[in-house]
């Protein structure tokens, strides 16, 4: 596949929409959860940023695989995996939550969908959560099934997303609350559509059940979107940075705990529930985190792509290293570079002056920012 730069094999899975994204001019792919994720189309990143803020885009995010947990002990297993209390979660809700290991390290940060009292989907970032969940279920002897269903998410993002989807699925789309889902008819099937997505403008994700329906779904959305200026797209780096949307494997790994990742509000710290890593996370809460995720706003002209972490120094270039930029890009809205970094305690207050040592050798001056960016 010449557009991807990847040596393709069965280990890297195509999606139900790959044929369509190739037709509309994909220029490159990444691999997430062993599956293709489009990373660039004809527009520049900056042009894509502006289009996403004003119109509507269709994204192939099938790599956002679902881990299906069902059976009498389904809720017990999910709760064992996360510090977030799910006991009051209702049908039709989506919960963003951390999944942690025995040391409190982050294994993933999925969105949880509760489909029935004994039926959940974990819509995961890039790590093998299904194997982790299977191991936990077997180790504890739980009455539960853990599998990957035939579900292929397709995102429709941007301020006109509701207009596009309403022409296909009806006005009920507009009634969906943020982080809520509903069932909608498509080609004689019931499909799950959630008001979720990986962009600041927001939108929807169609959790398509049945990969054979993928081309038809793409085509219907594409045609419905033409009057609204629809274009193909993908997660936009400066947009997600401005929104404070983190990327597992970039901004955080198992070396980080959820309190460092700004997820304290999703962690139960009063001992009322038990979960893997509870002792470690409660200890961090008592002692205080040593670093925490922050934004960095910096000058020096457009920065290069951030393929490897860039050191962040306090003050001028001779200051101590206090973090490292893990994602960065030029923001057309702010007309400055934006980045994400874990910043050491004592230096993470907004306004802290920093120097970013970029891969192109330029030392760029900047400041620490709260998330999301104003």
Quick check: 106 and 253 in contact, CB under 8 A? yes
Tens of pLDDT along 142-178? 999 999 999 999 999 999 999 999 999 999 999 999 9
Q: Which of 328, 329, 372, 332 is nearest to 350 (CA)?
A: 372
What is the token pair recorded at 3? Answer: 């557009």
Q: Which of 369, 371, 57, 26 is nearest to 201 (CA)?
A: 57
pLDDT confidence of residue 204: 98
pLDDT confidence of residue 71: 98
pLDDT confidence of residue 8: 73
Q: Are strands 57-60 and 231-233 parallel, antiparallel or unpaired?
A: parallel
Tens of pLDDT along 218-241? 999 999 999 999 999 999 999 999
pLDDT confidence of residue 54: 97
Counting residues of the chain whose pLDDT is more than 70, the rounded percentage is 98
pLDDT confidence of residue 106: 98
Domain 66-147: give its CATH code.
3.30.70.1400
- Which spans in 55-189 are helix H? 74-81, 129-140, 161-169
> Which residues have CB under 8 Å from 86's CB, separation 6+?
75, 78, 79, 95, 97, 112, 114
Within 10 Å of residue 102's Cβ, how many Cβ atoms?
10
pTM for the whole thing? 0.95
Residues of the chain by 3-state class (helix, strand, coil), percent to 5: 25, 30, 45
- With a cut of 60, say whether residue 315 has pLDDT above it: yes
The domain segmentation of the chain, as residue ranges, is 18-64+150-241, 66-147
* Alpha carbon distance 252, 5 (integer Å): 26
Q: What is the mean pLDDT of residues 301-309?
A: 95
The CATH number of domain 18-64+150-241 is 3.30.1360.120: yes
Tens of pLDDT along 35-72? 999 999 999 999 999 999 999 999 999 999 999 999 99
């Amino acid at each position: 596949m010449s557009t991807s730069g990847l040596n393709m094999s069965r280990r890297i899975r195509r999606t139900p929409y790959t044929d369509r994204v190739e037709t509309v001019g994909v220029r490159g792919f990444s691999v997430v959860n062993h599956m293709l994720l489009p990373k660039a189309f004809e527009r520049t990143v900056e042009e894509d940023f502006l289009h996403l803020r004003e119109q509507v885009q269709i994204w192939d995010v099938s790599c956002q695989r679902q881990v299906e947990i069902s059976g009498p002990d389904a809720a017990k297993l999910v709760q064992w995996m996360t510090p977030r209390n799910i006991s009051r979660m209702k049908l039709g809700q989506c919960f963003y939550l951390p999944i942690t290991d025995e040391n409190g390290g982050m294994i993933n940060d999925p969105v949880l969908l509760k489909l029935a009292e004994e039926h959940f989907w974990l819509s995961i970032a890039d790590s093998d959560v299904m194997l982790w969940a299977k191991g936990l279920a077997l180790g504890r002897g739980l009455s539960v099934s853990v599998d990957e269903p035939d579900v292929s998410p397709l995102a429709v993002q941007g301020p006109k997303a509701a207009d596009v989807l309403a022409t296909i699925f009806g006005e009920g789309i507009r009634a969906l609350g943020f982080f809520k889902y509903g069932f909608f008819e498509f080609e004689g099937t019931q499909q799950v559509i959630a008001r979720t997505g990986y962009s600041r403008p927001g939108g929807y994700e169609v959790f398509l059940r049945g990969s054979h329906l993928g081309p038809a779904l793409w085509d219907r959305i594409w045609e419905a979107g033409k009057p609204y200026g629809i274009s193909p797209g993908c997660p936009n780096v400066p947009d997600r940075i401005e929104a404070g949307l983190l990327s597992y494997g970039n901004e955080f790994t198992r070396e980080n705990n959820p309190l460092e990742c700004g997820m304290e509000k999703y962690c139960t710290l009063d001992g009322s529930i038990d979960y893997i890593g509870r002792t470690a996370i409660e200890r961090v809460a008592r002692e205080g985190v040593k670093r925490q995720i922050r934004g960095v706003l910096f000058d020096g002209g457009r920065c290069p792509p951030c393929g490897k972490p860039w050191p962040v120094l306090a003050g001028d270039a001779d200051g101590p290293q206090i973090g490292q930029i893990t994602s960065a890009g030029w923001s057309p809205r702010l007309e400055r570079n934006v980045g994400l970094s874990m910043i050491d305690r004592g230096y993470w207050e907004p306004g802290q002056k920093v120097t970013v040592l970029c891969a192109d050798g330029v030392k760029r001056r900047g400041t620490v920012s709260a998330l999301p960016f104003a």
